[in-house]
Amino acid sequence: MNAITPIPSLIPENAPFSSEQRAWLNAFFAAHLGIDAAPAPPAESVPAEPDEDFPWHDAALTMAERLELAQDRKPERRLMAAMAQLDCGQCGYLCQTYAEAVWSGGESDLGRCVPGGKETQRKLKELLAGLAGERSATPGAPAVKASGALGFSRDRPALATLVDAYPLNRPGSEKDVRHVVLDLSTTDVTYEAGDSLGVFARKNPLLVQSVLDRLGASGEEMVAYDGEALPLRQVLLSKVDIARPSDESMLFLAERAFGGEEALQLQALARGEGRPELADADLLDLLMAFPSVMPSLPGLLRSLDRLQPRLYSIASSPKAHPREVHLTVSAVRWDSNERQRTGIGSCYLADFAKPGDVVPVFVQKSHGFAPPADDGTAAIMVGPGTGIAPFRAFLEEREARCAASGKKGGRNWLFFGDQKRATDFLYEDQILDWQRRGVLSRLDLAFSRDQADKVYVQQRMREHAAELWQWLESGAHFYVCGDAKRMAKDVEDTLLAIAAEHGGKGAAGAKAWLAGLAKAGRYQRDVY
């Protein structure tokens, strides 16, 4: 077997391109010149110790509950318990490998866990401070994380092109969910149903302009970032996180405050204390709330966390949409401190990026979350709201496979729900067409606000518990996608109750049964 070499650096580091542009150009010219440019495969997670379990690895548990379960474990496992437990990949690791890299010293950035946010970041600092004696005595060199293939690593994104981001909700809905289509034809990126797409978003340009105005800057000032000289506006738009200022940035602002009271308040905020109206402040909130603060640009940029990519479950099958990838994205907007706030990734795709814009992306391979390998196996899918995304991909994939083989596929049962059927039935035409043609054997809907008493997907499961149990006993796979702490937990509790009652297993037996189902790959979750 020939050795696999990394993509060569054909574009000089001092060339007038961003790091994303240089990565794309290096790959393009390597392919054009016929240079073997296939990089080494990304590092996989470090195998667990024999028979080691991770009881805290459950996103439905609180931080306190997770830490209690890990309190007698080795330090890196206690650090793991501080993560969000989603294995979402936004940090560039899994929860286990991120904790191990932090403990080994191979990763110094404690702010990579996007879903864990400041709670995770602060707890990691606290744990590391308490474990300092053990850490200094830990042998071994820092772990080195492979950069991965172009388009399959957050460190080496590919450049997709935005085709469209059209609304899925009808007029009158309280939500704004978009169907996002990205063109991959200029890349070598491939994906499978069940994978996720990482998107490097740009922040709200109005927010960036307001920050620049408060700093008295034009945005054209050249600043150093990641070894490059870039305009300040570009760094604020796409490189640093100004929506969730780090504790270090608050301490830095405190040092630049004139007057002891403002400095003391900023120091309190860095500890998670003080003024409650600033608990979720962005950088502009802080700069406006403390008018005496006049930070230097280099120091401010160094104090801010790096902007992390946003991950979205892929909502398409490559067999149905060659060279495209589709997403189902809910645009997040809310009011706070007399300003409208916008979700970084969702509103970038819904509002700020325009058709034809280049979007840096990478594929995050799933960890076992995929349609059954055997097309004849039945699948039960529970995906309310934007949780429908991967199951649209699953159904497209299963339909395409059966069409290619000429064989009849296994049964598919979809549970979907949202607020109102008239306005929030995402992909209604496609789903009802699948039902009409028999691709969907069963469809159960739960629109919570179409009646006085709210109805959710787990209630539909209970209504059809006997049949659901029969499907599972016949070998069906069970999938859930959506909110980890509420919906997915409620669905799991319902599944346990069905096993206890209709399977006659009792509470303890139901838990053992579900654990066995997961171990066999028949209970899979894509939760956030």
Burial of 156 per CB tally in 10 Å (0-12, 13-18, 19+): buried
CATH number at residue 433: 3.40.50.80
DSSP 71-126: TTS-HHHHHHHTS-S----TTSS-HHHHHHHHHHTS---TT--TTTHHHHHHHHHH
Quick one: 419 and 400 in the same domain? Answer: yes
State how many domains the chain has: 5
The strand pairing partners of 527, in sequence order, are 482
Other Cβ atoms within 10 Å of 267 Cβ, number: 18
For residue 370, tell me if it sits in a domain: no
pLDDT of 24: 54
- Under DSSP, the state recorded for 187 is S
Question: pLDDT of 208-255, one tens digit each?
Answer: 999 999 999 999 999 999 999 999 999 999 999 999 999 999 999 999
pLDDT of 28: 52
Quick one: 35 and 174 in the same domain? Answer: no
DSSP 204-251: -HHHHHHHHHHHT--S--EEEETTEEEEHHHHHHHTB--SS--HHHHH
**Would you say how long the chain is, in residues?**
528
pLDDT of 409: 93
For residue 505, tell me if it sits in a domain: yes
- Under DSSP, the state recorded for 306 is B
Expressed as residue numbers, the domain containing 423 is 379-527
Backbone φ/ψ region at 413: left (φ over 0), alpha (ψ -120 to 50), beta: beta
The distance from CA 318 to its chain's CA centroid, rounded to whole angstroms, is 21
Quick one: 284 and 219 in the same domain? Answer: yes
Quick one: 73 and 24 in the same domain? Answer: no
For residue 447, tell me if it sits in a domain: yes
- Under DSSP, the state recorded for 349 is I
Quick one: 229 and 164 in the same domain? Answer: no
Quick one: 508 and 402 in the same domain? Answer: yes
- Under DSSP, the state recorded for 451 is S
For residue 416, tell me if it sits in a domain: yes
CATH number at residue 182: 2.40.30.10
pTM of the full predicted structure?
0.84
Residue 173 CA to residue 168 CA, distance in Å, equals 10
pLDDT of 51: 62
For residue 512, tell me if it sits in a domain: yes
User: What is the CA angle 517-522-525, rounded to 5?
Assistant: 100
Residue 123 CA to residue 40 CA, distance in Å, equals 34
For residue 295, tell me if it sits in a domain: yes
Contact in structure between 341 and 282 (CB atoms under 8 Å) = yes
φ/ψ of residue 324, rounded to 5 = -130, 155
The strand pairing partners of 160, in sequence order, are 359
- Give the pairing of strands 358-364 and 158-167: antiparallel
Quick one: 192 and 340 in the same domain? Answer: yes
Quick one: 332 and 288 in the same domain? Answer: no
For residue 152, tell me if it sits in a domain: no
> How confident is the prediction along the chain (528 residues), in pLDDT tens digits per residue?
333 334 444 455 445 555 555 555 555 554 444 434 433 334 344 444 556 889 888 887 888 889 999 888 998 999 999 998 888 777 878 899 889 999 988 888 888 888 888 788 888 888 988 888 787 655 444 444 555 788 998 889 999 999 999 999 999 999 999 999 999 999 999 999 999 999 999 999 999 999 999 999 999 999 999 999 999 999 999 999 999 999 999 999 999 998 789 999 999 999 888 888 898 899 999 999 999 999 999 999 999 999 999 999 999 999 999 999 999 999 999 998 889 999 999 999 999 999 999 999 999 998 789 999 999 999 999 999 999 999 999 999 999 999 999 999 999 999 999 999 999 999 999 999 999 999 999 999 999 999 999 999 999 999 999 999 999 999 999 999 999 888 999 999 999 999 999 999 999 999 999 999 999 999 999 988
Quick one: 504 and 449 in the same domain? Answer: yes
For residue 385, tell me if it sits in a domain: yes
Quick one: 392 and 483 in the same domain? Answer: yes
Residue 62 CA to residue 406 CA, distance in Å, equals 48
Quick one: 193 and 326 in the same domain? Answer: yes
Question: pLDDT of 127-153, one tens digit each?
Answer: 988 888 787 655 444 444 555 788 998
Q: How far is CA 226 from CA 5, 51, 240, 423, 466, in A?
A: 24, 42, 11, 45, 58
Residue 369 CA to residue 382 CA, distance in Å, equals 13
Quick one: 125 and 36 in the same domain? Answer: no
pLDDT of 117: 80
CB proximity list for 467: less than 8 A, separation 6 or greater: none
Contact in structure between 339 and 304 (CB atoms under 8 Å) = no
What is the biggest distance separating any 2 CA atoms in the chain, rounded to whole angstroms?
76
